[in-house]
Amino acid sequence: MGSTSIARAAIVVALAAVLEVILGPYLVLGWISPKFMIFGVVFAVPALRNLQAVMLGFFAGILFDALSGGFFGVGSLAGLVAATLAVRANAALRKGARRFVMAQVVAVSVAVYDLVDYAAMGLAGLQTPSFGGYLVGGVLPDALLNGVLAYLVGGFLLRIGRTRRRGWEPDR
C-alpha cells in the first residue's frame, strides 16, 4: 500500500465539503441526500496518522458548517466521527475487504450525522418529526443510500489520495 499525502487528502476533503454545500440542496429527497463530505473524509484519511486524520475530519466538518446553513458543530462532529472510524477500520483491514468496510463506515457516520442533527433541531426548539418516523424514514434510508453509493464508488475513491511507493522506500 502506498502512502497518503496529507496535502492531497486535504484537497479531496475540502472539495468534498464544498461539493456537498453546492450540490447537496439539489439532491435532497425528503430527509435523504448524499453526504459528500463524509465520503471524502472516510476515503481520504485512512492511511494518514491518527492525529492528522482526526484533525482533517474535524476541519472538513468546520468548513462544511461554515459554508452550509445548518447547525454549526453538527458537521464538525460528523467529520470527527467519520475520520476516527475510518482510521480505526483501516487498522484492522485486509486489502480485499477495504471497500466494503469503508462503505459500512460511511453508513455509520451518516447515521451519526443524522442523529446529531435531529438532536440539534430538538435542542434549538425547532419542530422535529417523531423519533421513530425520522429513524425509519430518514436515518436508515439515508445511511443505506450513502453506504451503497460509497461501495459503488469506493474503489475509485480509495485510490485518490495514495501516492505510488518507489521501489527503494520501506513501508511505513
Chain segment 18-69, per-residue pLDDT in tens: 988 898 889 888 888 889 899 888 888 887 888 889 999 999 989 988 888 8
| Of 161 and 19, the one with more pLDDT | 19
Q: Please return the burial class of 151, using the count of CB atoms within 10 Å of its CB with bins 0-12, 13-18 and 19+.
A: middle
Chain segment 100-112, per-residue pLDDT in tens: 888 889 999 999 9
CATH topology of domain 6-160: Arp2/3 complex 21 kDa subunit ARPC3 (1.10.1760)
Q: Is the dihedral of CA 49, 98, 61, 119 positive or negative?
A: negative
d(CA 96, CA 66): 37
Whether the CB-CB separation of 78 and 40 falls below 8 Å is answered with no
Q: Domain locations in the chain?
A: 6-160
